[in-house]
Amino acid sequence: MKIEGQAALVTGGGSGLGEATARELARLGAKVAVLDVNLEGAQRVAKDIGGVACKCDVTDTESVQAALDAAAAAHGPARILMNIAGIGTAKRVVQKDGSAAPLEDFAKVINVNLIGTYNASRLFAAACAKLDALEDGERGVMLFTASVAAFDGQVGQQAYSASKGGLVGMTLPMARDLAQHGIRVCTIAPGLFSTPLMRQLPEPVQASLAASIPFPSRLGKPEEFASLAAHIVTNTHLNGEVIRLDGALRMAPR
């Protein structure tokens, strides 16, 4: 699909990989709605790129529908959905005091990363399926953001890895399901990227993480993620696939 002139939605667009993707799509001529639970972040990015900011919690159906409607009112119906919103925590199954890890912590990560992505995707797909078909019968494209932790999760990453593994597992059935509507689904599984989250870590920790990446031995740049996300939009034959973007990194147990 040609990006220029299309309306695009970017969840988690107020920071990090989502911000870089919102900026890249706007640079390539898309009309971008920045959806984020953090309205200030969304507004900062939207202002910079001439897009619209929508406060949106991907786990809340009313909130997502309101954001989709607001974005459509500003830009027309969207054909591109970039699901990039996500959270991450690490927690040992058996805590230091011997107690079991709280179930709510596990459920929260699954709720935002997996159920939130499905929530935004199903509402987007229902709207997108009603649009006229473009070349090849294509109507839309959506991205899931997994993680290499879906495959080689580290100690304590049970919830995060399960949520991202869920996205990996959902990619093909979703692509097959939506094929009849001409909507493609692809997933990027990033390795270690330099985002505000990562930059909070002490410099030596960042350096040691970077050194664990075979080549290039540095953290990924958010622009590299954004460039692949944009490529997925433009390459109509990419569908139902999970792409690792990780410099050949395979995470160690800890």
Ligand X SMILES: NC(=O)c1ccc[n+]([C@@H]2O[C@H](COP(=O)([O-])OP(=O)(O)OC[C@H]3O[C@@H](n4cnc5c(N)ncnc54)[C@H](O)[C@@H]3O)[C@@H](O)[C@H]2O)c1
Among the listed residues 3, 110, 7, 127, the one whose alpha carbon sits nearest the alpha carbon of residue 64: 127
In the complex, minimum distance from the CB of residue 20 to ligand X, in angstroms, rounded to a whole number: 8
Q: Let me know: does 71 contact 16? Beta carbons within 8 Å.
A: no
* Nearer of residues 14 and 182 to ligand X, judged by Cβ: 14
Among the listed residues 239, 227, 243, 187, the one whose alpha carbon sits nearest the alpha carbon of residue 28: 227
Per DSSP, the residues of 108-132 read HHIIIIIIHHHHHHHHHHHHHTTSP
* Nearer of residues 75 and 224 to ligand X, judged by Cβ: 224
Q: Which residues lie near ligand X (CB under 6 A)?
A: 11-12, 14-18, 36-38, 41, 56-59, 84-88, 112, 116, 145, 147, 190, 192-193, 195-198
* Nearer of residues 12 and 51 to ligand X, judged by Cβ: 12
- 118 noted as active-site residue: no
Q: Let me know: does 33 contact 82? Beta carbons within 8 Å.
A: no
Distances (CA, A) of 154 to 24, 78, 110, 182, 200: 31, 36, 17, 37, 19
Distances (CA, A) of 40 to 47, 48, 126, 207: 10, 12, 29, 30
* Nearer of residues 3 and 20 to ligand X, judged by Cβ: 20
In the complex, minimum distance from the CB of residue 223 to ligand X, in angstroms, rounded to a whole number: 12
In the complex, minimum distance from the CB of residue 2 to ligand X, in angstroms, rounded to a whole number: 26
Q: Considering 124, 160, 193, 225, which one is annotated as catalytic? A: 160
In the complex, minimum distance from the CB of residue 235 to ligand X, in angstroms, rounded to a whole number: 21
| Residues with a known catalytic role | 160
